[in-house]
């Protein structure tokens, strides 16, 4: 749940104060912000409650209630931003000025001032989320329907080319009805962004990084340039190994990899095909999924394991309400949004996750990730409400992934999920490959989703070439191609949750850079002496103290100040990634020698 979206709802109370008597002294900016922080909690809770209920009980009634709550907070946000304009040009306390700046950026889709259009935008947004959450692929009638969870499992487990093709095509077909809704969403959200003074919605998103939008675009490109060579090395090696399974006629040299062969519905992370690309078979026992199932881990036990890691760093146990109110498994009696998410319901200690947890390695890592959000919420809960967010949105996503980097083979052995860890070069390369299939494979996907949306919002990409541009970017950045012919009858961007849910995605790209910076800084704080990839901060109180101090700052200051507090630098930088994967990159260069790399 995006905290700053929720905070905008609070302004509905502000509009009730518009009939202030002329004889009263004008409200100062400090008083305005203080009142905003004070009044927003109840209304923020209403929005969170409506959203969480809709996500976990998808039906027409909850869709209606969620749309109405959304409409109210969009109206309130518009009113608050207008009222805040009274303080433009004034010399303000730095904290007050920052609060007013963040208020202006407080929603991911600002509504037009026109009440009818505002209601329409709320309805379209709720409808898209509901369509995505309830989508099923039914090849031969209702009795043959498969949910996203079932189709994703096929993608992860099957090695049959045609079975993978059907699962991929089936899920992507469910996104076609979203196209018309998305076109209207873009029109309405852009109108709202322009009324607020932004060129378009994409420019508004890029304004949330304590730097001008164009400068941020260049910053994202710079970070990608740092990691692109490592990704290309990994792509070349993986393509060669996939040829051995599926044949060179299906996976040819010098061409993109068919998107359905990488173990993931969106080809965004490739860890599930590790058995096909394992460098040294048997050199390292990393069958985490097998161990979870053999040891009968269920959803709550997996979540307790994640909690134990954070507690080892000095974080508190999760509130009992977390265990009572979270959604841990997919119900059999109703459709839900299984996409994993963390929720801060009240600005205090009511924190939850929503995930249909299965006993496999991917879900284990995801739970540790989601608890990173939860512990960030709990760490900054004493900040003023407007500052209850990550230093920037990439920080929020990086916290749990920083912990993921400490889930080394030694840690997994410590908690009983792998056997004895045999040191040596072969074991190191196996482990690095497993991590790279998750972390490095993701980087281009993390960048291209918002690049597509920025072009859509700016009008560079029109509905007539939505899908063609989507696949052009995927080829450019990822080196993947659709396994079937695609047309503008399809809407493949809508097959990814974050597009119909209107969740900005650059945050994930940034988080995959920041998590290695954070990991290196925390390992240094822990006194780790050795290669970065061998470090786990599990149980280290000093690293935990440094971590908690950073999280407690929330969004109270520019992210550069917060980054400097932990890492000693004010710049995001991918050099820690290159250091972490140094053994693998040397090995990949050897393996790829003489191959036709690139696409």
C-alpha–C-alpha distance, residues 474 and 53, integer Å = 34
Q: Which residues of 192-218 are buried (b: 16+ CB within 10 A; e: fewer)?
A: bbbbbebbbbbbbbbbbbbbebeebbe
pLDDT, residue 504, reads: 94
Helices (H), 18-175: 29-56, 60-84, 94-104, 115-134, 148-157, 161-173
Of 70 and 211, the structure prediction assigns the larger pLDDT to: 211
Angle, alpha carbons 493-499-47 (nearest 5°): 165
pLDDT tens digits for range 100-144: 999 888 778 888 989 999 999 999 999 999 999 899 999 988 899
Task: Tell me, yes or no, if 512 is annotated catalytic.
Answer: no
Which range, of 76-80, 90-94, 334-338, averages the lowest pLDDT? 76-80
Q: Which domains does the chain have, with CATH numbers?
A: 3-130 (1.20.120), 232-294+391-591 (no CATH)
Residue 380: how many CA atoms within 13 Å on its side-chain side? 26
Kindly tell me if the per-residue pLDDT of 12 is higher than 50: no
Among candidate residues 350, 347, 352, 349, the one with its CA nearest the CA of residue 385: 347
Which two three-digit tokens encode residue 232?
Answer: 């290309």
Task: Tell me, yes or no, if 67 is annotated catalytic.
Answer: no
User: If you ran DSSP here, which 8-state letter would residue 199 be given?
Assistant: S
Q: Which residues of 315-324 are buried (b: 16+ CB within 10 A; e: fewer)?
A: beebbeebee
**Once rounded to an integer, what is the mean pLDDT over residues 284-307?**
92
Distance of CA 97 to CAs 12, 203, 504, Å?
Answer: 21, 21, 24
Catalytic residue (choose from 508, 512, 538, 580): 508
Which range, of 311-315, 360-364, 488-492, averages the lowest pLDDT? 360-364
Among candidate residues 492, 490, 551, the one with its CA nearest the CA of residue 518: 551
User: If you ran DSSP here, which 8-state letter would residue 359 be given?
Assistant: S
Distance of CA 44 to CAs 54, 64, 77, 346, Å?
Answer: 15, 18, 12, 7
pLDDT, residue 24, reads: 63
**Once rounded to an integer, what is the mean pLDDT over residues 339-352?**
95
Dihedral, CA of residue 548, residue 549, residue 553 and residue 554, to nearest 10: -20
The beta strands (E) that lie in 263-404 are given as 341-344, 351-354
User: If you ran DSSP here, which 8-state letter would residue 475 be given?
Assistant: I
CB-based contact 493:470 (threshold 8 Å):
yes
The label of the residue with tokens 């991590």 reads 435
C-alpha–C-alpha distance, residues 233 and 581, integer Å = 12
CB-based contact 337:512 (threshold 8 Å):
no
Catalytic residue (choose from 172, 235, 260, 339): 339
The label of the residue with tokens 């060669």 reads 240
Distance of CA 504 to CAs 343, 344, 437, 490, Å?
Answer: 16, 18, 23, 22
Kindly tell me if the per-residue pLDDT of 200 is higher than 70: yes
Task: Tell me, yes or no, if 508 is annotated catalytic.
Answer: yes
Among candidate residues 257, 246, 111, 277, the one with its CA nearest the CA of residue 185: 111
Kindly tell me if the per-residue pLDDT of 30 is higher than 80: yes
Give φ, ψ of 530 to 5 degrees: 155, -175
Kindly tell me if the per-residue pLDDT of 586 is higher than 50: yes
C-alpha–C-alpha distance, residues 317 and 375, integer Å = 10
C-alpha–C-alpha distance, residues 444 and 478, integer Å = 6
Give φ, ψ of 189 to 5 degrees: -65, -40
Catalytic residue (choose from 172, 363, 369, 392): 369
Which two three-digit tokens encode residue 339?
Answer: 């996409």
Task: Tell me, yes or no, if 498 is annotated catalytic.
Answer: yes
Q: How many CB atoms lie within 10 A of CB 229?
A: 11
C-alpha–C-alpha distance, residues 368 and 523, integer Å = 18
Where does the pLDDT of residue 6 fall: very low under 50, low under 70, confident under 90, or very high at 90 and above? Answer: very low
3-state secondary structure of 174: coil
pLDDT tens digits for range 149-196: 899 999 999 999 999 999 999 999 999 999 999 999 999 999 999 998
Catalytic residue (choose from 373, 392, 528, 533): 373
Catalytic residue (choose from 340, 495, 521, 543): 340
Task: Tell me, yes or no, if 519 is annotated catalytic.
Answer: no
Give φ, ψ of 26 to 5 degrees: -60, 145
Percent of residues, the chain, with pLDDT higher than 70: 96
Provide, for the chain, the percentages of residues in helix, strand and coil under a 3-state DSSP scheme, each rounded to the nearest 5: 60, 5, 35
Beta strand pairing call for 146-147 and 136-137: antiparallel
CB-based contact 245:257 (threshold 8 Å):
no
C-alpha–C-alpha distance, residues 229 and 227, integer Å = 6
Among candidate residues 397, 421, 406, 379, the one with its CA nearest the CA of residue 308: 406
Kindly tell me if the per-residue pLDDT of 18 is higher than 60: no
Catalytic residue (choose from 39, 83, 166, 397): 397
Among candidate residues 253, 243, 262, 261, the one with its CA nearest the CA of residue 162: 261
Catalytic residue (choose from 370, 436, 497, 521): 370
Among candidate residues 448, 502, 460, the one with its CA nearest the CA of residue 184: 502
Task: Tell me, yes or no, if 339 is annotated catalytic.
Answer: yes
């Amino acid at each position: 749940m995006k905290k700053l979206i929720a905070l905008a709802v609070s302004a509905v109370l502000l509009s009730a104060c518009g009939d202030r008597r002329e004889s009263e002294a004008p409200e100062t900016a400090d008083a305005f912000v203080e009142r905003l922080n004070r009044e927003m909690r109840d209304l923020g809770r209403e929005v969170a409650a409506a959203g969480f209920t809709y996500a976990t009980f998808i039906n027409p009634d909850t869709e209606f209630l969620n749309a109405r709550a959304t409409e109210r907070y969009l109206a309130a946000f518009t009113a608050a931003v207008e009222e805040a304009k009274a303080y433009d040009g004034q010399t303000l306390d730095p904290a007050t000025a920052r609060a007013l700046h963040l208020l202006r950026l407080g929603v991911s889709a600002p509504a037009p001032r026109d009440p009818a259009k505002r209601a329409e935008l709320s309805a379209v947004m709720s409808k898209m989320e509901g369509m995505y959450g309830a989508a099923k692929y039914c090849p031969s009638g209702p009795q043959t329907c498969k949910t996203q969870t079932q189709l994703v499992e096929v993608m992860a487990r099957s090695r049959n080319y045609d079975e993978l093709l059907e699962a991929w095509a089936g899920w992507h077909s469910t996104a076609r009805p979203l196209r018309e809704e998305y076109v209207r969403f873009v029109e309405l959200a852009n109108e709202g962004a322009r009324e607020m003074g932004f060129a378009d919605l994409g420019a508004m998103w890029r304004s949330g990084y304590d730097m001008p939008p164009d400068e941020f675009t260049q910053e994202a490109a710079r970070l990608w340039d740092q990691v692109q060579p490592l990704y290309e090395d990994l792509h070349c090696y993986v393509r060669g190994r996939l040829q051995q399974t599926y044949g060179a006629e299906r996976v040819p040299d010098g061409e993109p990899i068919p998107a359905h062969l990488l173990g993931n519905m969106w080809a965004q992370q490739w860890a599930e095909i590790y058995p096909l690309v394992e460098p040294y078979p048997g050199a390292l026992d990393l069958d985490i999924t097998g161990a979870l199932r053999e040891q009968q881990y269920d959803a709550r036990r997996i979540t307790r394991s994640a909690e134990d890691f954070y507690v080892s760093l000095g974080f508190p146990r999760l509130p009992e309400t977390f265990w009572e109110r979270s959604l841990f498994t997919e119900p059999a009696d109703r459709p839900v949004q299984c996409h994993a998410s963390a929720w801060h319901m009240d600005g205090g200690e009511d924190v939850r996750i929503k995930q249909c947890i299965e006993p496999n390695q991917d879900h284990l890592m995801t739970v540790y990730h989601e608890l990173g959000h939860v512990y960030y919420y709990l760490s900054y809960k004493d900040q003023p409400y407007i500052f209850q967010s990550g230093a920037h949105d990439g920080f929020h996503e990086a916290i749990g992934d920083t912990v993921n980097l400490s889930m080394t083979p030694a840690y997994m052995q410590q908690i009983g999920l792998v056997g004895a860890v045999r040191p040596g070069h072969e074991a190191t390369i196996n482990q690095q490959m497993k991590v790279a299939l998750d972390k490095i494979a993701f980087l281009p996907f993390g960048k291209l989703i918002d690049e597509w949306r920025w072009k859509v919002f700016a009008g560079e990409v029109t509905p007539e070439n939505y899908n063609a541009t989507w696949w052009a970017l995927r080829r450019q950045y990822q080196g993947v191609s659709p396994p079937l012919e695609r047309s503008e009858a399809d809407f493949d961007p809508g097959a990814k949750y974050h597009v119909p849910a209107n969740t900005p995605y650059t945050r994930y790209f940034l988080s995959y850079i920041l998590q290695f910076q954070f990991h290196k800084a925390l390992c240094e704080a822990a006194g780790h002496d050795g290669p970065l990839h061998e470090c786990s901060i599990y149980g280290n109180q000093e690293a935990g103290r440094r971590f908690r101090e950073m999280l407690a700052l929330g969004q109270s200051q520019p992210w550069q100040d917060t980054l400097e507090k932990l890492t000693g630098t004010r710049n995001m930088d991918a050099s820690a990634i290159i250091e972490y994967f140094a053994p693998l990159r040397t090995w990949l260069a050897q393996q790829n020698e003489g191959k036709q790399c690139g696409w």
